[in-house]
Amino acid sequence: MKSLIVYCSTHGTTAKAAHLLRKQIEGEVIAINLDKTKLHSDLELFDSVMIGGSIHAGSIQGKIKKFMKEHEDVLQRKNLGLFLCCMREGQEAHTQFKNAFPPNLREAAIAKGLFGGEFIFTKMNFFEKIIAKSVSGSTEEISHLDFESINEFAATFNRNNKYLPV
């Protein structure tokens, strides 16, 4: 089984989550950060695709939106996983997830995850720092990466993956 993790990571949090996830998914797994690398492979080469991003100014990255729109038909035929890194919790996080991913992909997904988030001020520009400070009330580095949620996502994905031997 061959799986692809496609993600965007502006400040490194989603990259951390994607690589933690990569280590737990069974079979051959390739992870590509669309912020740094263009996807040169045909999605038909993969049995499974996981898509992840983070919330910036209320929206998931444009490259993730474009990827989902361009490959929507193929993605619906794959074992699909969707994950989001965000600092919101509870209903707000679920609303951000809902707004980040199209309904047909959310319905097709065999695993969905909210992986928490981080504010890494040293990697932010001036405006990002202002927004993060207004959201968190702090200028200290904050990490709420949810390792348990990443583990649960991987277990659910592996369990529901129809390409893995039973």
Q: What is the pLDDT along the chain (166 residues), one digit of tens a residue?
A: 899 999 998 777 899 999 999 999 999 999 999 988 777 678 888 999 999 999 877 789 999 999 999 999 999 999 999 999 987 788 988 999 999 999 999 999 999 999 987 667 677 676 666 666 677 667 677 667 889 999 999 999 999 887 655 4
| Helix or strand (DSSP H, E) at 4 | strand 2-7
pTM exceeds 0.75, yes or no? yes
117 with 141: CB under 8 angstroms?
no
What residue type is 110 in one-letter code? Answer: I
